Amino acid sequence: MILIKLGGSVITDKTQYRTFNKDTISRLCKEIRASEADTLIAHGAGSFGHVLAKEFSLQNGFSRPEQIPAVARVQYDVRELNLMVINELLKAGIPAISIPPGSCFMMDNGELILENPEVLLSASRMKIMPVMFGDVVFDRTKGFGICSGDQIMEVLCKLYDPKKVVFVSDVDGLFDKDPKKNPDAKLLREVTSDILKKVSGKSSVDDVTGGVMAKAESMLRMTSPGRDCILVNGSVPGRLQSLLKGEKVISTTAKGGL
């Protein structure tokens, strides 16, 4: 199995509230189907989650009553995004269903805890793809918190033990500095924990789930002696499909653990 995360930066415009990149996600779903690879998909919340989450500091937990309507709105928005992704998967011929994180997960002081794996495993056994997404999840210590797509990926990685993990973003991979602000930024074709220490973690868009550095650390945690974790640009047509078919493409491969 190949575990795939469709990043919020590629399926939405993270700078514009509730902006869905329909053409891009439609193409990516078709590429996944055409690759004929055994896959499992999760996706980020992008502008359907991060904009309001940042405005109301939902990542820090409950602190004031004004946050409650924002929690409800974010949950509504990310479910709508998820259903749009599901619709494109179905149109591509992939039998996918929505699994809200709150149906399986709790949090405790920001740590994501899988309490009901049977929901996910039952769907997989039936050859139905359970699709999870970044969301607001209840937290035993803080009231609620942001459950990021990257956190979900780490839990799914432990549950399913995939042979490969792929993060689909809107950049060619991990750079030594932000390529959107620095034209001379150099692509790192391979990243280890030592290389990561030398890389700037600043990104172009505010991200309540930690940005580029947190993603790179998450990727390294998901590596093992027999498993690489790859960051690839889903904005380039055909690149994800080629990667899933085992071909070499422009990307960054995380190796060696954190």
- Over the stretch 54-80, which tens digit does the pLDDT of each residue have? 999 999 999 999 999 999 999 999 999
- Over the stretch 173-197, which tens digit does the pLDDT of each residue have? 888 877 778 888 889 999 888 888 7
Residue 57's domain comprises 2-254
Axis-axis angle for helices 149-160, 117-125 (nearest 10): 60
pLDDT on residue 208 = 47
Residues of each annotated binding site: 5-9, 45-46, 50, 149, 170, 211, 215
For the segment 206-217, the average pLDDT, to the nearest whole number, is: 64
Number of domains in the chain: 1
Q: Is residue 132 pLDDT above 50, yes or no?
A: yes
- High-pLDDT (> 90) share of the chain, %: 78
Question: Residue type for 138, please?
Answer: F
Q: What are phi and psi of 66, to 5 degrees?
A: -65, -15
Residues of each annotated binding site for ATP: 5-9, 46, 170, 211, 215
pLDDT on residue 183 = 85
Give the C-alpha separation, 253 to 128, whole Å. Answer: 29
CATH (domain of 82): 3.40.1160.10
pLDDT on residue 143 = 98
Instruction: Output the CA–CA distances (angstroms, integers) from residue 45 to 33, 109, 190, 216, in the order listed.
Output: 22, 21, 27, 18
pLDDT on residue 205 = 47
Give the C-alpha separation, 94 to 88, whole Å. Answer: 9
Nearest-5° Cα angle at 154, 67 to 59: 15
Contact 161, 155 (CB under 8 A): no
Residues of each annotated binding site for substrate: 45, 50, 149
pTM of the shown model: 0.91
* Cross-strand pairs, 190: 253
